[in-house]
């Protein structure tokens, strides 16, 4: 359901409805002090709602920042299943490097292991599941750009992109926009890949199924009380 958000959208990177229909603005019930500045309101069901203008502005800033690096020096990670297809397509079009599977401890800090990778910039899909990569980037002096939900603590993160980082459509849209804007910054105006290419076909992870079942039970209980 689209939120009623009274903002000018003249300089938005995509139409406002694209943000809303893909749930980029819908956060969690839990919020940290680090993310408070990006939150527009709290819904009656206690879910936090991001300020869409701040999402848009941060994506724009992040794209400008990432475009300054050589693609081979940018590493993108996602331990979250729904993020693996978006980062794969992002790297396919931008030339950056992706780790689509589990991040192996030591990948950024131990030259003796097979998975060791040199990078000058790390992009993390979800700080809660990409903690190891973010910590190693900090130890190696590598700046970190991260897509951050309302529950994120910003330690070791240099540039926050506030967004729903749990939904497959939301992650797909954020990476699709980043791809388009980075290519534009590099002088490539024509980007015609459909958003659908970036959307994961993976099955929901067990924790999501469990959360959905809990939500159904809560709705049933509320219905009985009425």
Is residue 9 assigned to a domain?
A: no
Q: DSSP for 16-70?
A: HHHHHHTTTTB--S---GGGGGGEEEE-TTS-EEE-HHHHHHHHHHHHHHHTTS-
- Is residue 148's pLDDT more than 50? yes
pLDDT for the residue numbered 137? 98
pLDDT for the residue numbered 202? 83
pLDDT for the residue numbered 6? 46
pLDDT for the residue numbered 9? 64
pLDDT for the residue numbered 226? 56
pLDDT for the residue numbered 1? 42
Give CA–CA dist 50/165, Å, rounded.
12
- Is residue 8's pLDDT more than 90? no
Q: List, for residues 91-111, the tens digit of each pLDDT value.
A: 999 999 999 889 999 999 999
Give CA–CA dist 119/101, Å, rounded.
17
Say whether 194 sits in a helix, a strand or coil: coil
Q: List, for residues 151-172, the tens digit of each pLDDT value.
A: 999 999 999 999 999 999 999 9
Q: List, for residues 132-141, the tens digit of each pLDDT value.
A: 999 999 999 9
Is residue 120 assigned to a domain?
A: yes
Is residue 4 assigned to a domain?
A: no
Is residue 116 assigned to a domain?
A: yes
- Is residue 122's pLDDT more than 60? yes
Is residue 8 assigned to a domain?
A: no
Q: List, for residues 29-69, the tens digit of each pLDDT value.
A: 999 999 999 999 999 999 999 999 999 999 999 999 999 99
Domain that holds residue 134: 16-225
pLDDT for the residue numbered 223? 58
Is residue 39 assigned to a domain?
A: yes
Question: Are the C-beta atoms of 86 and 175 separated by less than 8 Å?
Answer: yes
Is residue 1 assigned to a domain?
A: no
Which residues share a beta bridge with 75?
97, 122
pLDDT for the residue numbered 82? 95
Q: DSSP for 140-208?
A: TT--EEEEE-TT---TT-SEEEES--S-HHHHHHHHHHHHHHHHHHTT-------GGGGS--PPPPHHH
Number of domains in the chain: 1
Q: List, for residues 165-216, the tens digit of each pLDDT value.
A: 999 999 999 999 999 999 999 999 889 999 999 999 987 755 555 554 555 5
Q: What is the CATH number of the domain that holds 116?
A: 3.40.50.10490
Is residue 92 assigned to a domain?
A: yes
Taking phi over 0 as left and psi of -120 to 50 as alpha, with beta for the rest, 209 belongs to alpha
- Residue 124: phi, psi to the nearest 5? -110, 135
Say whether 124 sits in a helix, a strand or coil: strand
């Amino acid at each position: 359901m689209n939120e009623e958000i009274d903002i000018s959208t003249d300089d938005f990177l995509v139409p406002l409805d694209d943000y809303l229909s893909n749930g980029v603005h819908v956060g969690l019930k839990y919020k940290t002090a680090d993310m408070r500045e990006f939150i527009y309101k709290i819904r009656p069901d206690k879910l936090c709602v991001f300020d869409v203008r701040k999402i848009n502005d941060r994506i724009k800033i992040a794209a400008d920042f990432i475009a300054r690096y050589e693609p081979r020096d940018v590493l993108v990670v996602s331990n979250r299943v729904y993020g693996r297809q978006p980062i794969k397509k992002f790297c396919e079009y931008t030339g950056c490097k992706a780790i689509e599977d589990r991040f192996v401890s030591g990948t950024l800090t131990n030259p003796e292991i097979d998975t060791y990778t040199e990078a000058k910039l790390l992009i993390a899909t979800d700080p809660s599941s990409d903690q190891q990569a973010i910590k190693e980037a900090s130890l190696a002096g590598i700046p970190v750009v991260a897509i951050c939900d309302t529950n994120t603590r910003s330690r070791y993160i240099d540039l926050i992109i506030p967004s729903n980082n749990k939904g497959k459509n939301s992650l797909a849209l954020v990476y699709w926009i980043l791809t388009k804007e980075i290519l534009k910054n590099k002088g490539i105006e024509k980007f015609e890949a459909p958003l659908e290419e970036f959307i994961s076909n993976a099955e929901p992870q067990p924790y999501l199924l469990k959360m959905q079942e809990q939500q159904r039970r809560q709705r049933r209980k509320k219905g009985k009380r009425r």
